[in-house]
Amino acid sequence: MHTITIANQKGGCGKTTVAINLAASLACEGSQVLLIDLDPQGHCALGLSVPDEQVDLSILDCLMSRIEGEPIELGRIVWQISPNLSLAPSRENLGTLEPRLANQSDADTLLADLLKEHGGAYDYCVIDCPPHMGLLMRNGLLAADETIIPVDTGYFSLHGLTRHLGTIQQVCERNGKMPAVRVLPNQYDVRTKLAREILSELRKRYKDCIFETTLNFNTKLKEGASFGQPITEFAPNSSGASDFKSLATEIIGRQVVPAGNTDLLRHVEKLTADAERLLATTTTLVGNRTTIESVPAVQEAVPAATRHIETPDHASESVEKLIAAGPVGAIEDDQTSEQAFHERIERKIERIYGVRQEGEVVIFLSSCPDAGEVHLAGDFNDWMPHTMPMRKLSDGDFEARLKLPAGRYRYRMVVDGRWSHDPHNPNTETNEFGELNSLLDIA
C-alpha cells in the first residue's frame, strides 16, 4: 500500500477537497483506496454523505485501542463509499487524542503501526490532516510514503510553504523517516497576474518537487461537496474532474523515491532564501489584482461571451445567477428535471453560506478562501468590526454565531480591512455612501 498524506499548516488551501477527490479519482482508476480523516472536524465524512450521528466507531477508537490493549480492527470502522473507495471517518472527539496521550512515547507512530497491520487490502491510503502541527499531523507524516502539500497560488502561500517544509524536516528527522515531499498548486486562477507570476516562479525554481498537474478553480468541487459527492460522481465530465484524473494518473505513473534529509534541507534553505525576494516581486501586483478574484471558480459555468469583470461590491451578486445559468452536474434529459436540479443546488448553497436562524442563534457563514481575517459590523455592535471577529474554519470559510433580539438589522463584512456586503445574502439596501448594506430580519 502506498500512503499519501495531505498536509499544510495554512488554512484555506483546500486540503480536504484534495484528499476526497484524489482518493475518489485513484479509485476510479481501478485502485482500492482507503481515505483516513485525521481532522476532528470530520469534513471527509460530510463531503461523502456519511451521517455523523451514525458513526459509532471512528479512527480515534482504532488508535486508542492500540494503547488500551483491546485492539479494534480497521475494518470495523470503515465505511464503503464505492466499490473501490473506503473511508475511516473521524469525529470531534478525535481532538482529545493529544491530551490523552501527551506522555505516551510511541504516540506519534500509532497510525503507521495500524496501517502496517491492516493496509494489505488497499493499493493506496490517502490521509487528510488537520491544519496545524500536533500529534495528529505527526501521525500522518510518519505514516506517509509521500506527503503532498496543497498550495494556493496566492500572496501568503509562500511563507506557509517554507514554514511547513521546515516542520516536516524537523519531525521526520527526529524519527528517522523521510517521505517524498511534493507541492501541489491548487485553486489556481489563470486570469490573475499574481497567480501566474507565483506559479511560474515556483515551477522554475522548484520543478523537481512540484506536480506537473495544476488544480484550477472549479465551482463544481464545492457544489459536489455540498451534495456529499466527489467530483468523479457529481460532475465526471467537468474540468475539475479532469484535473483530479490527471493528478491520479501522475501519482500512479511516477515512481516515488523518498527524499534524503540533505536534499530536503537544501530545498528548505533555498525556499527560505528566495521567499522574500519572490514576495517582493509580487507585492506590487497585490493592489492591482483583477477584482474577479472575489468570485472564484465561476468561469466554467459561464459562457466565454458573457464573462466580465465586476466591481468588488457587485461581483458576488452574480455568483448564484452564473451557477444557475451554466451546466451543473449530471443533468437529466427532461427540462423539468433540469430545472429542479438547479433549484436544489441553489437551495443547498443558500443553506450552507449566508445568514440563517437556528432557534435563538443567528449563524453567519461566508466563504473567503484568500482572507486572513473577517469581521462583522452592523447595528448589533454599533458598526465596530473589531468587536466581532468571525471564526476561521477549514477551506477558507468564516463563521459567527450571535443571539439577537427580534427586529431588522443592517450589517456589512470587513475582509482583511475591506468593507463589503455579505455576498451570500441577496437582501440588501443602498446606504448613504452609495454602497450596499446586507439586511437581516429576526422573527
Q: Where are the domains of the chain?
A: 2-281, 353-442
Q: 118 pLDDT exceeds 50?
A: yes
Band of pLDDT at residue 273, cut at 50, 70 and 90:
low
- CB burial of 382-398 (b: ≥16 within 10 Å; e: otherwise) equals eeebeebebebbbbbbb
- pLDDT at position 307 is 37
Band of pLDDT at residue 394, cut at 50, 70 and 90:
confident
- pLDDT at position 87 is 96
Q: pLDDT tens for residues 200-242? A: 877 876 677 889 899 998 889 989 988 999 999 999 999 999 9
Mean pLDDT of 52-65: 91
- pLDDT at position 296 is 40
Mean of the per-residue pLDDT values for the chain? 78
CA torsion, ordered 430, 436, 437, 439, to nearest 10 deg: 80
Lowest mean pLDDT among 73-77, 110-114, 161-165: 161-165
- pLDDT at position 255 is 52
- pLDDT at position 348 is 46
Report which of 373, 352, 364, 350 is spatially closest to residue 403, judged by C-alpha positions.
364
pTM of the model as a whole: 0.59
Contact 125, 87 (CB under 8 A): no
Q: 430 pLDDT exceeds 70?
A: yes
CATH topology of domain 353-442: Immunoglobulin-like (2.60.40)
Lowest mean pLDDT among 40-44, 229-233, 297-301, 347-351: 297-301
Which set of grid coordinates corresponds to residue 390?
468571525
Of residues 271 and 293, more confidence is placed in 271
Cα–Cα distance for residue pair 59/86, rounded to 1 Å: 13
- pLDDT at position 68 is 83
Of residues 15 and 156, more confidence is placed in 15
Q: 24 pLDDT exceeds 70?
A: yes
Contact 17, 107 (CB under 8 A): no
DSSP 223-285: HHHHTT--HHHH-TTSHHHHHHHHHHHHHHHSPP-PPPHHHHHHHHHHHHHHHHHHHHHHHHH
Report the largest interatomic distance among the alpha carbons of the chain, rounded to a whole angstrom. 67
Q: Do domains 2-281 and 353-442 have the same CATH topology?
A: no
DSSP conformation class of 217 = P
Give the Cα-Cα-Cα angle 238, 337, 367 (nearest 5 degrees): 50
Which set of grid coordinates corresponds to residue 358?
437556528
Q: pLDDT tens for residues 335-377? A: 566 566 555 555 544 446 788 888 889 999 988 888 889 999 9
CATH number of 2-281: 3.40.50.300
Radius of gyration, CA atoms only, the chain? 22
